[in-house]
Amino acid sequence: MTIFIQPSALAVQTTYIVGAGGTYRPFEYENSNKELEGFDIDLIKAIAHVEGFQVQLVNTPWEGIFATLDNGDRDIIISGITITEKRKQSVDFSLPYFPAEQVIVGQKGTEITSIASLKDKIVGVVNGSTGDIVISTVLGRNNTAIRRFDNTPLLLQELYEEGIDAAVGDVGVVKFYIKMHPGKAFDLVYDNAFEPQYFGIAVEKGNTDLKNKIDAGLKKIIVDGTYHKIYEKWFDSNTPKLPIDIE
């Protein structure tokens, strides 16, 4: 008896090795089982699903993460990577998938409306962060009104306890903290003076086929609502509008 097998049954899905850091909660971090999870992890899995490929996740330290594309150890890296012109010279980026903007955090009912209104306030930042750089420019690097903290949880706890008047930090990290601490109410204040920045998924320079797959998958999960569900899981229901043309 002759058995006919449909061609699709013979198809083997391509597996791409994905590098992601394990220390940038909530984008990628190791859980108690030493498995990577986070917004970025859910996102790349969703893209892989709609594009019909598999991913093998590998915890990859930030230092040297770009080199793993050059030497072939990784096919994709997704690790809260801000798209910059300098980085575009060595890797190819997907379409932007997350607005990596800074946000001002005030106590509930704050009268703070902009960066300019921070000049007479005690402002907290994470030491060495983008927020630190921005506020140091506005208030002066050695201004004693700037309080520097080791991480965002410490920063926002101090704000909650009214030890500082406002904080400036990465919007994703701030939103995740607020989601995890529903009893602590804050107001978020956006200012166009913050330079717009976005995270992108990186592939080896010249790997247009893989980049196109990722871009196509990202568009699909935006259209079908998957992106919104992932965003809501980690942050809130205010899904950002990305600078992507959806046909």
Q: Which domains does the chain have, with CATH numbers?
A: 14-99+198-234 (3.40.190.10), 102-189 (3.40.190.10)
Place of tokens 């080199």: 67
Q: Does the structure show a pLDDT above 60 at 1?
A: no
| Average pLDDT of every residue of the chain | 93
As beta bridge partners, residue 24 has 28
Count CB neighbours of 238 within 10 A: 9
- SS3 letters for the chain? CCCCCCHHHHCCCCEEEEEECCEECCCEEECCCCCEECHHHHHHHHHHHHHCCEEEEEECCCCCCCHHHHCCCCCEECCCCECCHHHHCCEEECCCCEECCEEEEEECCCCCCCCHHHCCCCEEEECCCHHHHHHHHHHCCCCCCEEEECCHHHHHHHHHCCCCCEEEEEHHHHHHHHHHCCCCCEEEECCCCCCCCEECCEEECCCHHHHHHHHHHHHHHHHCCHHHHHHHHHCCCCCCCCCCCCC
Q: Does the structure show a pLDDT above 80 at 89?
A: yes
Residue pLDDT, tens place only, 135-171: 998 899 899 999 999 999 999 999 999 999 999 999 9
Average pLDDT over residues 97-105: 96
pLDDT at 93: 98
Residue pLDDT, tens place only, 34-59: 999 999 999 999 999 999 999 999 99
Helix axes 208-223, 39-51, angle to 10 degrees: 100
pLDDT at 231: 98
Of the CA atoms within 13 Å of residue 142, those in its CB half-sphere come to: 0
Please give the model's pTM, rounded to 2 decimal places: 0.91
Dmax of the chain from CA atoms?
86
Q: Does the structure show a pLDDT above 60 at 2?
A: no
Average pLDDT over residues 62-70: 95
pLDDT at 174: 97
Place of tokens 């986070």: 38
Query: Measured between alpha carbons, how far is 79 from 88 in angstroms, rounded to an integer?
Result: 16
Residue pLDDT, tens place only, 4-14: 455 444 457 89
Q: Per mean pLDDT, which range of 6-15, 81-90, 196-205, 217-226 is the poorest?
A: 6-15
Contact between residue 166 and residue 112 where contact means Cβ atoms under 8 Å apart: yes
Contact between residue 165 and residue 125 where contact means Cβ atoms under 8 Å apart: no
